[in-house]
């Protein structure tokens, strides 16, 4: 009917309403996870580059251990340990994004710390905290924004995959992944709208975030435009 133009699920719930509400939850989780992961990663990367020495070496080895696991597997392992819920899913996804934030920002900070104005600040006795917060971190904002925008689509896919596998945000909260998982669980009862509409929503949002990430990258680095 026109009042429920996408139909209803097995329990009589409006599919359009669930897709819209599930999109709100999925976007909220993904955005907060990327913000948390990249922010902590950026601060860690600046500190690792500036302090150097043993701290930098240990940090890189720890990050290599995290990056050895696929992001989805790492998030699932973390959720098994801390339990499934809204904030635990956010934390789990943010941990999967953290190593990339550290690596990218560290590489930028390593080049910045060798510039003349940073060396001059060191010569006049500027403290490490002020050096990182006032002279190095502001120069890392552009790569931070590019990285965060690029990771939004990845976070959406991870969150949806966790919901589909049944280890994400538990019902009755609707997410796109939960809707797909519920459709597969009742595969003996054909109901294509439960698969098609959440799947299309995930695809369009991920594509949109990818285009947005490309636009942000081009804005901060015009040399890469069109590649």
User: Does 191 have pLDDT greater than 80?
Assistant: no
Greatest Cα pair distance in the chain = 74
The whole-model pTM stands at: 0.83
For the residues of 20-65, what is the DSSP string, one character each?
HHHHHHHHHHHHHHHHHHHHHHHHHHHHHHHH-HHHHHHHHHHHHH
Structural domains of the chain ordered from first start: 19-224 (1.10.3720.10)
Encode 83-103 in three state secondary structure: CCCHHHHHHHHHHHHHHHHHH
**CB burial readout 39-52, b (16+ within 10 A) else e:** bbbbbbbbbbbbee
pLDDT tens digits along 192-222: 777 888 888 899 999 998 888 888 877 776 5
């Amino acid at each position: 009917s026109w009042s429920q133009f996408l139909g209803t699920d097995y329990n009589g719930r409006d599919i359009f309403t669930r897709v819209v509400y599930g999109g709100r939850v999925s976007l909220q989780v993904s955005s907060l996870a990327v913000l948390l992961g990249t922010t902590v990663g950026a601060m860690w990367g600046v500190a690792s580059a500036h302090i150097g020495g043993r701290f930098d070496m240990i940090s890189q080895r720890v990050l290599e251990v995290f990056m050895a696991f696929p992001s989805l597997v790492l998030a699932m392992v973390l959720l098994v340990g801390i339990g499934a819920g809204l904030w635990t899913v956010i934390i789990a996804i943010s941990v999967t994004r953290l190593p990339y934030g550290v690596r990218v920002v560290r590489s930028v900070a390593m080049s910045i710390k060798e510039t003349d104005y940073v060396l001059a600040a060191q010569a006049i006795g500027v403290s490490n905290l002020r050096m990182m917060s006032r002279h190095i971190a502001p120069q890392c904002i552009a790569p931070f924004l590019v990285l965060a925008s690029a990771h939004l689509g990845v976070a959406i896919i991870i969150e949806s995959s966790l919901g589909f596998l049944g280890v994400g945000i538990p019902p009755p909260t609707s997410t796109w992944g939960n809707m797909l998982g519920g459709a597969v669980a009742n595969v003996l009862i054909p109901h294509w709208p439960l698969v098609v509409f959440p799947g299309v929503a995930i695809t369009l949002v991920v594509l949109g975030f990818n285009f947005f990430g490309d636009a942000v990258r081009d804005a901060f680095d015009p040399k890469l435009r069109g590649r």
